[in-house]
Structures are given as structure tokens and as C-alpha cells.
Amino acid sequence: MGETVTYEVKNKVAWLTLNRPDQLNAFTETMNKEIIQYLKTAGRDGQVRALVITGAGRAFCAGEDLKSLDENAELGEIIRTRYTPMLLELTKFEKPVIAAVNGASAGAGFSLALACDFRIASEKASFLNAFINIGLVPDTGNIYYLTRLVGNAKALELSILGEKIPAHEAEAIGLVTKVVSHEELETETQAFAERLAQMPTKAIGLIKRLVRKSNDATLEEYLEYEAYAQTIAGRTNDFKEGVRAFLEKRQPEFQGN
């Protein structure tokens, strides 16, 4: 349990909840650090096979806490020392990550949701690339992920117009995995995460690496990397179990190793 987040494991699924509800879960330096800390905890814990990130109260995350921001602060330094390490820790995470977007996600809070592997949104959720509205540019990897999710044109639209995108519109443009009723967000997310937690976790981690690799490698480099990844996957117990189950015509029981 952190000062600004809570952390709990339920049936192989770790829940990391941003917990400053009275401030719409806006980021502080402590929160950036605690997110990193719990990402490491969840990464190391062999019992954890999926991670959910959500927000307490009515917002997912409102981005940087502007109230506590020093007017003379050097923003580039804040990015380098607080947000970049958090984002890189998240991209290094080798298990599936789901953002359970329970309400407004704005600014760097939107970026955090974008960097997760899946986004399950409550119908009350909204997405806002708020940076332009205070004269800034999207940060915390925002445009890197956004362009890949919705394409350049839509990414420009969202980033320049700075308009709030409600959950259903977000679903229509491919920004979220699915939209569920607000009351069912937690159970739906837990069920989805448990499904992922039954899957071959190592292979999921390798798929995440391959997707990233495909962004910056030539086809030849990518294909070589693919061979490495398949070598590693081919050595897992889950691969053996998968083949055995297939031949025995039964459901496989993956252990995540």
C-alpha cells in the first residue's frame, strides 16, 4: 500500500489503483515513483499474471497536478525525471496490462491509459488530450502510442482540438478495447484479466516485445527477432502443455512459465 496508490492481488490479477480521489488522481512525484515501485513488484511476483491500472473515485487520472506545480518549474526536467522513467517501466512490463478507465482520463492520465495493452472503459469514461488547452504538447509517450492506435490524422485531431472524447466515441475510433456499464467495470475487467492470467504469460510478454520491435526495426531485423522470440517461447512449459493438450484434445492449463 502506497501513499498515493493501492496495490492488491486478486486471483493472479494485480490491481494498481491511483488513489488521490479528491484530486481526481492527479500525478504527483510520489505517485510517479509508487507506480514504478508497484510495476516492479507485480513484474517480480510469479503469482501475478496480469495487471490492472485504475483510478479511485470518479476519475481515472487527471494528469499532472497543476496545483502543486511550481510556476518556474522546468517542464523538460519533470518529464525526464518523473514521467519518462514511469513510462519506460510500464513498457518494460512483460505481463498484460489493462487500463480500467473508470472516469475522466486527461493529459498524462490519458497517456498512461494509452501505454497499457488494453483499455476497458466505463460508459462514464472520457479521454482528453488536454495539453493543448494550457499551451503544451502531449507528453509521456502520448503521441507515440496515439498515432499507432488511431493513425496520424485522428491523433492530430485529438491533440490539437483538445476535445473530450466520450467512451462510445473512443470505442468507435479504436481507442478502447471495449466499453462496459459503469457498475460492471470492475467485474468485467477482473474477468477479462483472469482470462489473460490463464494464458501463456511468457508468450504474451514476447508478443508485446514483437509489437514494439515492429515499430522501429527493418523487416529483416524484425524477422531475426521473431526467431529469437520463438526460440524462447518454444522452451516454455506452456508450449509443451499447449501441444500436449492439443494432441489430447483438451483445454490446456498454462502455468505462465
Partner 1 sequence: MKKLSNQKDYQYIITETSGKIGKIILNRPEVLNALKRPMVTEIVTAMEKFQEDDDVHVIMLAAKGRAFAAGADIKEMMDDDPVYLEKIDQFSWWDRMALIKKPIVAAVQGYAVGGGFELVLSCDIVFAAEGTKFGFPEVNLGVMPGAGGTVKLTKALGPQRALEWLWTGEYFDAETAYVYGLINRVLPEAVLHEETEAFAGKLAQQPQMSLRLIKDTVRKAVDLPVYEAMQYERKNFYLLFATEDQKEGMRAFAEKRKPSFKGR
Question: In the range 203-232, which residues lie near partner 1 by CB under 8 A?
Answer: 209, 225, 228-229, 231-232
- Least Cβ distance, residue 231 to partner 1 (angstroms): 5
CB of 232 vs partner 1, minimal distance in Å: 5
Taking the C-alpha atoms of residue 59 and residue 53, their distance in angstroms, rounded to an integer, is 12
Count interface residues toward partner 1 (CB under 8 A).
Answer: 7
The answer to the question of residue 81 lying near partner 1 (CB under 8 A) is no
**Minimum distance of partner 1 from residue 215's CB (angstroms):** 13
Residues 12-31 that bind partner 1 (CB under 8 A): none
Interactions with partner 1, residue window 184-203 (CB under 8 A): none
Q: Given the complex with partner 1, which of 154 and 213 has the nearer CB atom? A: 213
Burial status of residue 153 (CB atoms within 10 A of its CB: 0-12, 13-18, 19 or more): exposed
| Residue number with CB closer to partner 1 (189 or 236) | 236
Site for partner 1 contains 237 (CB under 8 A): no
Query: Is the CA virtual torsion 237, 240, 244, 247 positive or negative?
Result: positive
- Look-up of cell digits 469514461: 125
Shortest Å, Cβ 209 to partner 1: 8
Residue 212, CA distances (Å) to 42, 148, 173, 215 in order: 21, 11, 21, 5
39: three-class secondary structure by DSSP: helix
CB of 81 to partner 1, least distance (A): 15
Strands 178-180 and 118-122: parallel
Shortest gap between Cβ of 149 and partner 1 (angstroms)? 24
CA distance 251 to 238: 12
**Separation of alpha carbons 51 and 93, rounded Å:** 10
Can you give the binding site for partner 1, defined by CB under 8 A? 209, 225, 228-229, 231-232, 235
